[in-house]
């Protein structure tokens, strides 16, 4: 039977960060219909399905409603499971073959302890006319439209004046859905030791508000690195569960790091 793990990603303690399901298979390919049904049954914002693929691992991700091209927190969670099971040597990179190309996760030492660091593709912003439902999507909050990511899994990005403004947003989820994109990233400059803050809404793929979104920082990292004039950043996603991410921004890649903790282990019975 496939093993199942529920992992809180971007958190060092249980019941915070972003929970991801991880299903480890002995071999592939993954049956897409079964994976979608199981992801809906699990109910996490994303569930990862992984199996050996030569000297690497084949990785796919499903929300409760759809397969997605990239999911950062479930990638982090999967690497955590494989490292924890000694399926990958501790001093090696965990290599994944995915729809978004090869992704690597390594262990890194940070001031707050060891983190898992994912090497993700940078998702730059492209120019795009401001979508009509945007003001309604923000629930009446004032925001500046920054553009749309040029990716298979596009997001609209909006900047607001402060972390307090960000926290107060009550989005109109029907209007967010009407944007015609995967999700809406809302961001602001951080406070204190935190360089940037964000929230992410993706009702079109069954995730009203994602607790912590690694892939969103493939866009936020380059954006704020340019703004702030430095490549190493500390980000905070301010959902009710919340989480922090260590970012190291390159020219075409973004290393996104964080902690992870396993909360549930078991088997898939069907």
Q: Given 3.30.390.30, 3.40.50.2300, 3.10.310.10, 1.10.1240.10, which CATH number is that of 125-253?
A: 3.10.310.10
| Ranges under pLDDT 50 in the chain | none
**Which pLDDT score, from 0 to 100, does residue 40 have?**
97
**Which pLDDT score, from 0 to 100, does residue 229 have?**
97
CA distances from 246 to 117, 136, 211 (A): 8, 32, 16
Question: Among residues 46, 209, 236, 255, which one is catalytic?
Answer: 46
**Which pLDDT score, from 0 to 100, does residue 256 have?**
97
**Which pLDDT score, from 0 to 100, does residue 145 have?**
98
- Mind listing the pLDDT tens digit for each residue in 180-217? 999 999 999 999 999 999 999 999 999 999 999 999 99
- DSSP state letter for 181: S
DSSP secondary structure string for all residues of 5-25: EEEEET-SSTTSSEEEEEEE-
pTM of the model: 0.91
Residue identified by tokens 């902690």 is 259
**Which pLDDT score, from 0 to 100, does residue 152 have?**
86
The CATH number that domain 3-121+256-267 falls under is: 3.10.310.10
- Could you tell me the residue ranges of all domains in the chain? 3-121+256-267, 125-253
**Which pLDDT score, from 0 to 100, does residue 148 have?**
97
- Whether 189 is a known active-site residue: answer no
- The residue length of the chain stands at 270
Is-contact 130 104, C-beta < 8 A? Answer: no
- How much of the chain exceeds pLDDT 90, in percent? 94
């Amino acid at each position: 039977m496939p093993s199942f793990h529920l992992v809180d990603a971007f958190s060092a303690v249980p019941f915070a960060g972003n929970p991801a399901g991880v299903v480890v298979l002995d071999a592939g390919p993954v049956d897409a219909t079964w994976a979608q049904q199981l992801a809906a049954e699990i109910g996490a914002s994303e569930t990862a399905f992984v199996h050996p693929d030569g000297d690497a691992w084949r990785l796919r991700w499903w929300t409760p409603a759809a397969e997605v091209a990239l999911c950062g927190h479930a990638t982090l969670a999967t690497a955590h499971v494989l490292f924890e099971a000694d399926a990958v040597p501790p001093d090696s990179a965990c290599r994944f073959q995915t729809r978004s190309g090869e992704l690597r996760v390594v262990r890194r030492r940070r001031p707050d302890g060891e983190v898992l660091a994912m090497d993700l593709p940078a998702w730059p912003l492209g120019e795009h006319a401001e979508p009509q439902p945007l003001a309604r999507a923000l629930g009446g909050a004032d925001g500046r439209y920054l553009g749309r990511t040029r990716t298979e899994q596009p997001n609209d990005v909006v900047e607001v004046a402060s972390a307090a403004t960000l926290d107060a947003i009550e989005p109109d989820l029907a209007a967010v859905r009407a944007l015609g994109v995967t999700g809406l990233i809302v961001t602001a400059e951080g406070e204190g030791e935190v360089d940037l803050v964000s929230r992410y809404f993706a009702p079109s793929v069954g995730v009203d508000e994602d607790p912590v979104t690694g892939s969103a920082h493939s866009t936020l990292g380059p954006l704020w690195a340019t703004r702030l004039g430095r490549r190493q950043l500390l980000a905070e996603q301010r959902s009710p569960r919340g989480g922090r991410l260590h970012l190291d921004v390159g020219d075409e890649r973004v290393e996104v790091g964080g902690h992870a903790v396993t909360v549930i282990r078991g088997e898939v019975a069907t």
